């Protein structure tokens, strides 16, 4: 898990209202940015102000959606989640032999048990044994103080500007993977397990049960990367590179448009 201490060894502190306001201004997001946090003790999760607890069995996708689509602060334990697949990604149940076999997916998502098992091995998940609960909440609530990761839903056009912001300084090439079904392993599973920004194409289950819209992608990342992305997008915006991206015209002479962004070549 990412260290919650800042560069000087102090706890991280964020002005979530200002950060989210700026994120929405830069990207015109329609879905509420949220946070996710794991807890070693159920009691610590239950102490969150205005916490809701599920009255039915849900997928993790549904719990995330209740924060992102409805603005709820929701906490769960393994007993609130349906099946081992949801629980295992966030480390609330063992990734045991039964889970690793993936046999329940054989003939449904994958042709053979061997294919299903290969899929399970490919998933990025939080190790089991440390955490007993998880909560999600809109970032602006400040109730997770801070979250382990932030979850940002955005269209592909919005997402590439966000990624450009992450790459503005200290450039890094991002290598992301697609596990297919159970794509929560590509987003919050990977971000929680590695502490790195993690982009996903939300899967069938996320869209069917979690209300993810047809044109949305999902970025999961620790809070320190959110501030980095915003600073980068502010710099890009000052250069005229901002969202929405204005279409120039597919048959227009491109030189006038290019000259607004790039210096004239030597000679």
pLDDT tens for each residue of 156-182: 999 999 999 999 999 999 999 999 999
Residue 143 lies in a domain: yes
Q: What is the pLDDT of residues 236-266, one digit of tens each?
A: 999 999 999 999 999 999 998 898 888 877 6
- Is the pLDDT confidence value at 4 over 80? no
Q: Is residue 31 part of a domain?
A: yes
Residue 117 φ then ψ, to 5°: -65, -35
Range of the structural domain that residue 211 is part of: 16-241
Q: Residue 131 falls within a domain, yes or no?
A: yes
pLDDT in tens, 45-63: 999 999 999 999 999 999 9
Share of the chain above pLDDT 90, in %: 90
d(CA 59, CA 19): 29
The whole-number pLDDT of residue 19 equals 98
What average pLDDT does this structure show over 201-214? 97
Using CA atoms, how far apart are residues 145 and 55, in angstroms rounded to an integer?
Answer: 25
Query: Is residue 267 one of the residues assigned to a domain?
Result: no
Tell whether 246 is covered by a domain: no
b/e 101-121 (16+ beta carbons within 10 angstroms → b): ebeebbeebbeeeeebbebbe
Say if 52 falls within a structural domain: yes
Q: In the numeric block, which tokens belong to residue 40?
A: 């070693």
Task: Flag whether pLDDT at 11 surpasses 70.
Answer: no
Lowest-confidence segment of 9-18, 46-55, 199-208 by average pLDDT: 9-18
State the average pLDDT over residues 23-29: 98
What's the pLDDT at 7? 33
Share of the chain above pLDDT 70, in %: 95
Mean pLDDT of the chain: 94
Domain count of the chain? 1
């Amino acid at each position: 898990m990412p260290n919650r201490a800042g560069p000087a060894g102090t706890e991280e502190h964020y002005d979530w209202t200002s950060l989210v306001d700026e994120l929405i201004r830069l990207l015109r997001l329609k879905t509420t940015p949220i946070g996710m946090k794991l807890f070693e003790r159920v009691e610590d999760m239950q102490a969150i102000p205005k916490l809701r607890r599920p009255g039915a069995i849900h997928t993790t996708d549904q719990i995330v959606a209740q924060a992102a689509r409805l603005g709820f602060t929701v906490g769960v334990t393994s007993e609130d989640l349906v099946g081992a697949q949801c629980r295992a990604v966030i480390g609330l149940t063992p990734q045991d032999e039964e889970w690793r076999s993936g046999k329940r997916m054989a003939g449904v998502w994958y042709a053979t048990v061997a294919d299903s098992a290969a899929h399970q091995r490919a998933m990025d998940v939080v190790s089991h044994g440390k955490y007993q609960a998880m909560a999600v909440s809109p970032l602006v609530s400040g109730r997770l103080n801070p979250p382990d990761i932030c979850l940002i839903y955005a269209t592909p056009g919005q997402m590439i500007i966000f990624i450009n912001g992450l790459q503005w300084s200290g450039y890094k090439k991002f290598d992301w993977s697609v596990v297919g079904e159970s794509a929560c392993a590509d987003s919050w599973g990977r971000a929680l397990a590695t502490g790195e920004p993690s982009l996903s194409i939300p899967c069938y289950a996320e869209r069917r049960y979690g209300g993810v819209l047809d044109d949305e992608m999902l970025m999961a990342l620790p809070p320190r990367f959110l501030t980095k992305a915003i600073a980068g997008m502010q710099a890009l915006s000052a250069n005229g590179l901002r969202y929405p991206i204005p279409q120039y015209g597919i048959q227009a002479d491109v030189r006038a448009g290019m000259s607004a962004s790039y210096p004239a070549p030597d000679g």
